[in-house]
Homo-oligomer: A and B are copies of this chain.
Amino acid sequence: MKALILTLALVTASPALALDGLRATGDLGVVIERATGSVLIVDRSDRAAIGRIDGLGDLSHAALTYSPDERFAYVFGRDGGLTKIDILAQKIVKRIVQGGNSIGGAISDDGRLVAVSNYEPGGVKVFDAETLEQIADIPAGAKTIGLVDVPGRRFAWTTWETGEAFLADFSGPEMVVNKLGDVGKNPFDAVLTEDAHTYLIGLFGEKGVTAIDLWDEVPKPVRFLQDYGKTEDDLPVYKMPHLQGWAFTEGQYVLPAVGRHELLWVDSESLEEVARTPVHGQPVFIVEQPASPYVWVNFATPLNDTVQVVDSRTHEVVQTLTPGAAVLHMEFAPRGAEVWISARDDNTVAIYDTRTFERVGEIAAESPSGIFFTARAHRTGL
C-alpha cells in the first residue's frame, strides 16, 4: 500500500475491518435473524460475528444470493422486500418492496441481473444488480417456485397453480421467455444440479418427479419415480413442503420422502430408486458435506432438535447429533471441514468439526435461520 495513508478513528467500532483497514471476503457469511428482521455478518476463520445489519423487514422466510465479488448480498424477504446489503461496510445499500410475498431469488452468471420469484402477485421480476432498477416484469398468473440461475444470463422457474416450467434468456438485446413444458400438478419445489444439466421438479398435486435436461436443444419434461410424493389425497395445501433440499452425491439424487421418516436414493442415470434410509423424522434439508461421501439431514417439527449424517455408499446413518432447539439450516465450510447449524430456539449457531463431530464453537444470534457463506457466489443454481 505504497503512498496510502489511512487514519483510523475508533477502529473498534467497525469490526468489519482489520487494523490496516483491509478485509478479504472469502471467509465471511450472513446469518438470517428471522424474528428481528436483521442479519448477522460472520467470519468463518474466527468463528465469530463481526456485525449486524437491521431493517430488512419480515425475514420469517428469507433467502439471499451474493454478488460475484462477494461484497453484496441480495436478501429476499417474506414481505416482498429485496434488500441489497454491503457486508464490508455493514449497511443497507438499497431496499425496495417489489412484491407481496417473495420466496427466493437468483443472480445471473455475469452478476448483472437479480431475479425474484413471487407468491403474491406471482410471477418473476428482474432487477439491475447495481441499482435495483426493474428490468423486467414477467407475470405468471400463478405463484412461482424453484427459481434458479442458468448459465448464459438465463433463469428457470416453475409455477404452482398451472404446473409449467419456463426459461428466460437475457443474453440478447431483448428478453426471450420460453415455456419448457407442463411438469405436473402443483410443483412444490425445483432445483438445478450443480453442473446446470438437470432441472428437477417435485410435485405436490400428484405422484412423481419431473426432470428437464437443460443441455438438450429442445428441453422437455420427463417424469420419473412414479411412487414419489404425497401419500394422502386430502393432505391440505398449507402443509406444502416447499424449499426442501435435495442432494446429489455418488451418482445419486437424494430426496426427502414426503411426509415420511425416510430418505430416497435415486440413480441419476437410470432415474430408478436404489435405496431408502430410515431417519429420525421428516427430512427438511439434505445437504452434501463437500468432498465426502456424506449428507447431513435436519428434520421437521417436533423432531427438529436433531441432525443425522448418512453415508451415500451404504445409505446408513453414521451419526446423530442434537445441536439445539429448532434446527433450521446447515451450511458447510466450502471445503467441508466444518458445518454451521442454526438452532433457532436456542438463539445459537453451533459449529461442528465434520471429522470428529465435536462442537468447536458457537455464536449467539437472534432466532437464526438461514446461514449463507460467500463461497456461494461462485456456484451455479443457488
Taking a contact as CB atoms under 8 Å apart, the answer to whether A68 and B27 are in contact is yes
Taking a contact as CB atoms under 8 Å apart, the answer to whether B88 and A69 are in contact is no
Q: Which of B27, B249, B269, B292 contacts A69 (CB 8 A)?
A: B27
Taking a contact as CB atoms under 8 Å apart, the answer to whether B151 and A90 are in contact is no
Taking a contact as CB atoms under 8 Å apart, the answer to whether B151 and A26 are in contact is no
Within 8 A of B (CB), among A309-353: 313, 333-337
Copy number in this complex? 2
- Cβ of A2 within 8 Å of any chain B Cβ, yes or no, is yes
- Chain A interface, number of residues (Cβ within 8 angstroms): 69
Within 8 A of B (CB), among A280-332: 290-293, 313
Which of A5-13, A32-40, A200-208, A234-242 lies on the face that meets chain B? A5-13
- Cβ of A82 within 8 Å of any chain B Cβ, yes or no, is no
Which of A119-127, A133-141, A176-184, A189-197 lies on the face that meets chain B? A189-197
Q: A111-B45, A290-B380, A337-B151 are in contact. Are A14 and B26 (CB under 8 A)?
A: no
- Cβ of A17 within 8 Å of any chain B Cβ, yes or no, is yes
Q: Which of B291, B313, B336, B378 contacts A26 (CB 8 A)?
A: B378
Question: Can you name the residue of chain B whose Cβ is closest to the Cβ of A313?
Answer: B215
Taking a contact as CB atoms under 8 Å apart, the answer to whether A89 and B14 are in contact is no
- Cβ of A375 within 8 Å of any chain B Cβ, yes or no, is yes
Instruction: List chain B residues, Cβ under 8 A from A13.
Output: 2-4
In whole angstroms, how far apart are the Cα atoms of A97 and B6 in the complex? 33
- Cβ of A152 within 8 Å of any chain B Cβ, yes or no, is yes
Instruction: List chain B residues, Cβ under 8 A from A278.
Output: none
Which of A11, A68, A313 has the most B CB atoms < 10 Å from its CB? A68
